[in-house]
Amino acid sequence: MTSTNPENKRLFIGGVPYKFREGQLLTLFVQYGKVIDVRIIYNKWGRSRGLAYVEFENLSDALEAKKNLHNYQLDPERHLIVDFSKPDPFLTPEGKARHEEAEQKKHRFKPNQPVKNIVSAPGHFRQSIFDSRQYHSSVGAKFAKKTRKKRSK
């Protein structure tokens, strides 16, 4: 397999079994040299995405691990994909600028600030979904029906 990424000490590992943990991955890669970092990527619910990064101390160790473990069969259905990782975009000026821009966008809306009045009908403002019942908003009316049923029981 020809890699489009430049040779570096950090390897991208794909096809990692979802039950694998860092220790199991470390035991697989440590036989090729001193491993500095092992990181499995998890989704926001804490489940493995089947991706990992392994960083070696020396480039020669990373080359050897890539050569020997690419297409390595762990399960009958899963093979490891080992390639050089892309350089960290945060280390480039463009990457830092994009990160700062994303951070600013994320902090524009602060959840502890009071929400401004929302116009529900011309000349009228509503404070919450409960107030929208007066102005025949479909959401407010539907919500009001559901709450009335619960209260009457």
- Domains, the chain, in order of start with CATH, read 10-87 (3.30.70.330), 118-152 (no CATH)
Strand partners, 35: 56
Sign of CA dihedral 24, 27, 32, 36: positive
Whole-model pTM: value is 0.58
User: How many residues belong to the chain?
Assistant: 153
Number of CB atoms found within 10 A of residue 113's CB = 7
Considering only 18-22, 78-82, 147-151, which range has the smallest mean pLDDT? 147-151
Confidence of residue 123 (pLDDT cuts 50, 70, 90): low
**pLDDT value, residue 143:** 57
